[in-house]
Amino acid sequence: MDYSNLSLFRPQMEYRRFGKTNKHLSVITLGGMRFKHAHQLPRHEVPHDTLNQASQTVQMALEQGINLIETAYGYTKSETIFGRVLNQELKVKRDRYFLMTKGNPKTAEATRQLVEEQLKTLQTDYFDFYAWHGINTPELLEQACAPGGPVETLLQLKEEGVIGHVGFSTHAPLHVILKAIETDLFDFVNLHYYYFFQRNEPAIALAQQKDMGVFIISPNDKGGRLFSPPPKLQQLTAPLSPLQWNARFCLSNPGVHTLSFGLNEPEHFDPLNGIFPAPSPLSADDLRIKRLLDEQVAEVPYADFNGYAMENDPSGLNIPEILRFRKLWKCYDMKAFGEYRYNMFQEKDHWFPGQFPTEENLQQIDLSRCPEGIPIAKLIRETHEGLYRPK
Ligand SMILES: NC(=O)c1ccc[n+]([C@@H]2O[C@H](COP(=O)([O-])OP(=O)(O)OC[C@H]3O[C@@H](n4cnc5c(N)ncnc54)[C@H](OP(=O)(O)O)[C@@H]3O)[C@@H](O)[C@H]2O)c1
């Protein structure tokens, strides 16, 4: 295919205005965290088979009408791969796709240096979107947004025409995300929001009020490992697959603009056809599925208690997430997802905070934030026994 004439828009894809950036993005983004990287090689060396696989993925994505490619400095070879594929392998004209990258430099000087290196690696002279990667804590918010700091430098680079729009990505508690949006420094936000994780809905509402772009990260993997669902979940979302249902659920929120799929195999493109048209609000059939899913929660004692008010508990336990993994396991048989995520506690620092329970930290739970009648320690112990897998 000759990519020199490729249009930014294709009929089978849907597009949404990415808030005040005024760019019309495909509702599916090509997320670049998943290429088979051969980590033992130096950063800029890419094995042939990785390059071939990436070329095929980018080609299929463009043919499907995907017009946003997303990567980050932290995804090891991803920027190198996209730079090579877009410019040498496929020679795609730069105005035929939008490019988003991310980085988390700590100072103004480091920001300029990093952006310069990323431009070189991605073989471009501008980024449409640049996100400060991982505003995950109040301290990181302060550091990123300090006067004369990294975000201010990114905004200068915007003035200089090197960056189109500055945003941030986040895994933070809701109150930090709201605070970051309230700074009014950012044009867009990359966050988690799925049927099985709706905590960030108020952040989407605030972003919508401020006319910001909203980009959803990892809808299939962090969204519940929806690509390998248990039979119960498959039955509940039929005739859609859980992956398709969740995409339609996310897109039924008019404040959501694009979902970043980590597409890296030709087969990953097949389910896209069941997602569109994605109505907002949900269609009657989708509402029927939502009701069925919602109803499962009433069947399991305490599954409707989300523990959001117990975030940042002094015990160090990530109570809302523990309760969520219990709910997904008990209500939807999503035990494999629970095991996968639960066992990431104590590994990922501020990207996924939380301690495993001990008799000592269970004693430190702030019970004043727990409604009477909720046996919180018992629910936590039960979840730990079911999901913990010693390394
Ligand atoms: N800002 C942040 O901090 C942050 C954090 C996480 C992710 N992200 C961004 O979000 C992007 C997407 O995240 P993700 O890679 O976790 O995406 P995802 O689409 O949620 O999950 C990708 C995983 O799903 C599997 N899969 C199966 N069927 C698929 C299908 N039809 N479409 C897509 N994937 C399918 C893939 O399979 P295989 O096992 O075969 O690869 C892969 O393991 C990333 O590339 C990254 O840029 C950002």
One-letter amino acid of 274: G
Closest CA to 282 of 195, 212, 198: 195
Encode pLDDT of 125-141 as tens digits: 999 999 999 999 999 99
| Residue 1: band (very low, low, confident or very high) from pLDDT cuts 50, 70, 90 | very low
Specify the pTM: 0.95
298 CA → ligand 1 middle, Å: 31
Encode pLDDT of 170-206 as tens digits: 999 999 999 999 999 999 999 999 999 999 999 999 9
Query: In this predicted structure, which of 17-21, 28-32, 264-268, 382-386 has the lowest mean pLDDT?
Result: 264-268
Cβ of residue 313 lying under 6 Å from some atom of ligand 1: no
Omega before residue 281 within 30° of 0, cis:
yes
Cβ of residue 256 lying under 6 Å from some atom of ligand 1: no
| In the chain, where the domains are located | 3-287, 302-387
Encode pLDDT of 205-219 as tens digits: 999 999 999 999 999
Q: Which atom of ligand 1 is nearest to the CA of 70?
A: 47
The secondary structure of 313-351 as a DSSP string is: -TT---HHHHHHHHHHHHHH--HHHHHHHHTTTTTSGGG
Cβ of residue 260 lying under 6 Å from some atom of ligand 1: yes
Q: What is the average pLDDT value for the chain, to the nearest integer?
A: 95
Cβ of residue 134 lying under 6 Å from some atom of ligand 1: yes
Structure tokens belonging to residue 358: 């001990």
Closest CA to 68 of 101, 35, 36, 91: 101
Q: Which atom of ligand 1 is nearest to the CA of 102?
A: 1
Q: Which fold has domain 3-287?
A: TIM Barrel (3.20.20)
The secondary structure of 253-320 as a DSSP string is: STT--EEEE---SGGGGGGGGGT-S--SS--HHHHHHHHHHHHHHHTSTTTT---GGGTT-TT---HH
Query: In which region does residue 167 sit, left (phi positive, over 0), alpha (psi from -120 to 50) or beta (all else)?
Result: beta
**If DSSP codes are grouped into helix, strand and coil, which group holds residue 70?**
strand
